[in-house]
């Protein structure tokens, strides 16, 4: 993977963990997710005149990704209602690298060097062990893990679909703008239905966090979709999921969640995989 793609995806991982922390920390998560999507609708409308309209071949990918991304956001909201950020986030992100690697190699014909295969395995194992280091002890923990694993399945699905869709579109920038516009409308509609009879005035803090998270999510997704067009899907997916390392740090420092030696060992494994991913050929 080229150094510029490596650094930009790593930066996107940090941004991704940050906006997820904003969602987890807010008391009105569904309203915040709705604000995120409204922000992204505004951004996409501003950018739409500067990109090409999707071709016929792109629409199946756009619609499939829209469904998967909407399911991801709703499932993530449910997971955060049941469990800690540093428990839910690693599980949700840990499922994706293995699924994407298997599908992209077996079904899509992507090829990886031996060093890259080891790097993806280390990152995936580090993420999974990071999640397993927090053993569920309450029924709510088990529910959170169920929702987190389901969230991870959605992540793997939209990663593969977006990689294929952006390559079919010919321009990741065109694909990103239209995908965000369509998906954001779908998420707003779903959130509106779920809030029926429960809507309350949105607080200033939620408003600010929603706008910030929307912009951060837009930027990090754009970088990843661009990277999916120039690098193997498995490598981009694995590198993006190093966001869990940033998530644990954010959870400990800002959300006052605890960390153990086993979690530190898992972080070290993930970082070793990340280093090998960059140095391996």
Q: What is the DSSP string of 220-265?
A: HHHHHHHHHTTS-HHHHHHHHTTHHHHHHHHHHHTS-----HHHHH
How confident is the model at residue 26, as a pLDDT? 64
Q: Is the pLDDT of residue 68 over 90?
A: yes
How confident is the model at residue 216, as a pLDDT? 92
**If pLDDT is split at 50, 70 and 90, which confidence band does 75 have?**
confident
Closest CA to 39 of 162, 226, 218, 202: 218
Average pLDDT over residues 90-108: 78
Q: What angle do CA 107, 151, 253 make, to 5 degrees?
A: 125
Q: Is the pLDDT of residue 52 over 60?
A: yes
Higher pLDDT: 83 or 62? It is 62
Average pLDDT over residues 162-176: 92
Q: Is the pLDDT of residue 146 over 60?
A: yes
Q: Is the pLDDT of residue 97 over 70?
A: yes
Q: What is the pTM of this model?
A: 0.82
User: Do 6 and 223 touch, CB atoms closer than 8 A?
Assistant: no
Of 41-45, 136-140, 264-268, give the range with the top mean pLDDT.
Answer: 41-45
How many Cα atoms within 13 Å fall on the side-chain side of residue 88?
Answer: 26
DSSP state of 51: S
With both helix axes pointing from N to C terminus, report the angle between 139-169 and 172-194 in degrees, rounded to the nearest 10: 150
The gap from C-alpha 172 to its chain's centroid, in whole angstroms, comes to 17
Give me the chain's average pLDDT, please: 82
How confident is the model at residue 139, as a pLDDT? 56
**Residue 196, both tokens:** 């029926």
How confident is the model at residue 208, as a pLDDT? 86
Average pLDDT over residues 27-41: 85
How confident is the model at residue 17, as a pLDDT? 82
Q: Is the pLDDT of residue 61 over 60?
A: yes
User: Do 205 and 29 touch, CB atoms closer than 8 A?
Assistant: no
**If pLDDT is split at 50, 70 and 90, which confidence band does 134 have?**
low
Sequence-ordered alpha helix ranges (H) in the chain: 3-25, 29-47, 59-82, 85-106, 114-132, 139-169, 172-194, 204-228, 233-240, 243-253, 261-279
Q: Is the pLDDT of residue 201 over 80?
A: no
């Amino acid at each position: 993977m080229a150094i510029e793609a490596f650094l930009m995806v790593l930066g996107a991982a940090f941004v991704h963990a940050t906006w997820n922390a904003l969602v987890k920390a807010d008391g009105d998560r569904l309203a915040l997710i709705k604000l995120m999507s409204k922000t992204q609708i505004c951004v996409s409308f501003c950018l739409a005149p500067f990109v090409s309209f999707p071709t016929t071949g792109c629409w199946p990918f756009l619609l499939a990704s829209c469904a998967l991304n909407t399911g991801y956001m709703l499932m993530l909201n449910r997971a955060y209602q049941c469990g800690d950020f540093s428990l839910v986030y690693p599980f949700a992100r840990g499922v994706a690298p293995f699924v994407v690697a298997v599908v992209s190699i077996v079904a899509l014909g992507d090829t990886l060097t031996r060093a890259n295969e080891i790097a993806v395995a280390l990152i995936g194992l580090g993420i999974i062990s990071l999640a397993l280091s927090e053993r569920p002890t309450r029924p709510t923990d088990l529910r959170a893990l169920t929702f987190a694993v389901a969230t991870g399945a959605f992540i793997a699905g939209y990663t593969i679909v977006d990689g294929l869709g952006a390559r079919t579109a010919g321009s990741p920038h065109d694909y990103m703008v239209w995908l965000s516009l369509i998906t954001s409308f779908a998420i707003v509609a779903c959130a509106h239905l779920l809030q029926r009879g429960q809507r309350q005035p949105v607080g200033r803090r939620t408003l600010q966090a929603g706008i910030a998270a929307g912009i951060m999510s837009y930027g990090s997704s754009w970088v990843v979709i661009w990277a999916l067009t120039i690098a193997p899907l498995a490598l981009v997916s694995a590198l993006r999921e190093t966001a869990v390392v940033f998530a644990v740090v954010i959870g400990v420092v800002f959300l006052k969640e605890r960390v153990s030696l086993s979690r530190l060992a898992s972080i070290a494994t993930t970082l070793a995989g990340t280093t090998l991913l960059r140095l391996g050929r």
